[in-house]
Structure 1
């Protein structure tokens, strides 16, 4: 296993900067997920760690050793791509041990490693079959087994579950997380799917526009976003955002007639000379039975269910906000909207950077 360090990493393609001044330390045995929209630089960063992509400036280190000039085969990494490529004319067992044979390992050592990885991935019943007879989830497990059997220092996964049907993906997410913890291999995983990132990662590296936006544990990234982008990208439904416009005794939300009491806003926000945007998760905006201590007066447009949760929506000027309906009497006509002050976060309206919060939001 290895500790991976990226120091001032920049990658350019002509005039286009794909990765800009990235600094990150990934600890030995850690499961780190790169998350972000398409084109943000996450796959380019992964390819640079793998040795498949050259760097413009900066260093990549494995356990303190600079590996920029080492080829992919010299770095002791294994990589699994989005679309699995198994040899169709070879059995599953032959596919798994192929990289071991290519390295010239002795037959006894190959047999030992095959037995070890077969037990970990629970593939004993599949070894004599061929790739064309496997379900998509099992095919991906074979690809992972083939990568892991080499006992790499670093395991790199480029959207390995995105080509799998949803019915298999949930199970594979659980299995992948379990396997990584059992193996203890340093793992870097790239995805644009926040569900995968939130369920798998020890830490998430959120990227946008070629830069790292925030590096945090999933819980902290969800509840304490450091920017408007982080709040928008993480969560489904997304965080609600509303501009705060000071009026007598409180703040008008956007260009609406909705007034938020000033007691819900911290002093640091009141003292701001720049425009302020307020963010809060739908879970912190609740439709309740009784008038709340801290709330707003709105007209509810719609009430709808997503799984076990019942949501409501309302307009804030030209925008739509969403919250959770927690009323016991769902047939009631009352529209009491409670705000959990500890869930409020505030951002600079110009830079989009975090200003303050009243609590952890947990």
Structure 2
């Protein structure tokens, strides 16, 4: 296995900067997931680690050794792409062992490795079949087996589940996480799907506009986002954002009558200028009775969850609950779920920063 260090990594294509001064360490055996919108630089970074793209500046190191000038074949990496590329005229077993035969490995060693990877991926019944006879999820599993059988120091996965039907994707997601923990191989996984990132990652590397926005464990990035972008990109439904208006005694929620008092705000926040409140739908509650000024506009239910909408400053906001009060018609905020962001920079305001 290997530790990967990216130091001041920048990649430009003409006048376009695809990766902008990225610094990151992926620890030996870690499952790191690059997450972000299309075009943010995550796949370009992955391809640079693989040796398929050349760094404009900066360094890529495996276990402290600079690999910028090494060919992909010299880096001991394996890569699995979004669309599976198997040889249709070869059996599953022949597809899996192909890279070992290309190396000229002894037949006995190839047989031993095939037995091992077949047990790990539970492919015994499919070995004699051809790729066309397998469902998409099983074909992707074969591609993973072919990558792993080489004993790579680094496994690079570029949206490997996005082309699979949803019914297979959930199963493959669980299997992939289990296999990575069993194998212990350093893994970098690229996706734009936050569910994949949250369920698979030891750490999420969140990117936007060619830069790393936040690196953190899934729970931390959900509950302690560093910016408006991180708060809204992670979570479904997305985090609500409300402009706060300074008034006597605190900050008012947009054009509503609701005022957050000084005791509900981080120290010194009223002196910072324009501030936004961020609150996730799960931290809003439906309540009955008078005294709650945020009126519910619409509700609908999916299973145990009830979704509801309300409006502040002509902005439609969304909340969720578990039908605790079927007839409730007003919304209240859970204080522990409130987060505050600088309206100009988009960065989260912590008590220390305030």
Deviation at 1:202, TM superposition (A): 0.2
CA contact (8 A) 1:301 1:314 kept: yes
1:112 and 1:91 map into 2 onto residues whose CA distance is 18
Residues 204 and 328 of structure 1: is their aligned pair in 2 closer, same or farther, counting only changes over 3 Å? Answer: closer
- Which of 329, 332, 349 does residue 335 from structure 1 map onto? 329
Report the secondary structure of 2:297's partner residue: strand
Deviation at 1:283, TM superposition (A): 1.0
Would you say 1:40 and 2:36 are equivalent positions? no
- Which of 317, 320, 325 does residue 324 from structure 1 map onto? 320
1:71 and 1:328 map into 2 onto residues whose CA distance is 59
Q: Which residue of 2 aligns with 1:348?
A: 342
Q: Which residue of 1 aligns with 2:267?
A: 267
Q: Which residue of 1 aligns with 2:222?
A: 222
* CA offset digits 1:273-303 (Å, max 9, x no partner): x200110111111113467xxx951121111
Q: Which residue of 2 aligns with 1:57?
A: 57
Deviation at 1:349, TM superposition (A): 0.7
Residues 250 and 54 of structure 1: is their aligned pair in 2 closer, same or farther, counting only changes over 3 Å? Answer: same
Length, aligned pairs only: 352
Residues 327 and 150 of structure 1: is their aligned pair in 2 closer, same or farther, counting only changes over 3 Å? Answer: closer
CA contact (8 A) 1:259 1:297 kept: no
Would you say 1:145 and 2:145 are equivalent positions? yes
1:323 and 1:144 map into 2 onto residues whose CA distance is 39
1:188 and 1:173 map into 2 onto residues whose CA distance is 14
Report the secondary structure of 1:226's partner residue: coil
Report the secondary structure of 1:190's partner residue: strand
* CA offset digits 1:1-40 (Å, max 9, x no partner): 0000000000000110000000000000000000000000
1:269 and 1:148 map into 2 onto residues whose CA distance is 52
Q: Which residue of 2 aligns with 1:159?
A: 159
Would you say 1:120 and 2:126 are equivalent positions? no
Deviation at 1:338, TM superposition (A): 2.6
Would you say 1:310 and 2:306 are equivalent positions? yes
CA contact (8 A) 1:82 1:161 kept: yes
CA contact (8 A) 2:44 2:53 kept: yes
1:165 and 1:147 map into 2 onto residues whose CA distance is 22
Deviation at 1:339, TM superposition (A): 1.7
Deviation at 1:326, TM superposition (A): 4.5
Consecutive aligned runs of 4 or more in structure 1 exceeding 4 Å deviation: none
Report the secondary structure of 1:355's partner residue: coil
1:257 and 1:345 map into 2 onto residues whose CA distance is 20
Q: Which residue of 2 aligns with 1:191?
A: 191
Deviation at 1:309, TM superposition (A): 1.2
Q: Which residue of 2 aligns with 1:276?
A: 275
Give the TM-score normalised by structure 1.
0.94
Deviation at 1:263, TM superposition (A): 2.9
1:357 and 1:88 map into 2 onto residues whose CA distance is 59
CA contact (8 A) 2:41 2:208 kept: yes
Alignment gaps of 5+ in structure 1: none
Residues 119 and 40 of structure 1: is their aligned pair in 2 closer, same or farther, counting only changes over 3 Å? Answer: same
CA contact (8 A) 1:2 1:28 kept: yes
Residues 262 and 302 of structure 1: is their aligned pair in 2 closer, same or farther, counting only changes over 3 Å? Answer: farther
2:319 and 2:313 map into 1 onto residues whose CA distance is 16
CA contact (8 A) 1:300 1:335 kept: yes
Deviation at 1:318, TM superposition (A): 1.7
Q: Which residue of 2 aligns with 1:88?
A: 88
Report the secondary structure of 1:68's partner residue: coil
Give the TM-score normalised by structure 2.
0.96
Q: Which residue of 1 aligns with 2:135?
A: 135
Q: Which residue of 2 aligns with 1:285?
A: 284
Deviation at 1:250, TM superposition (A): 3.2
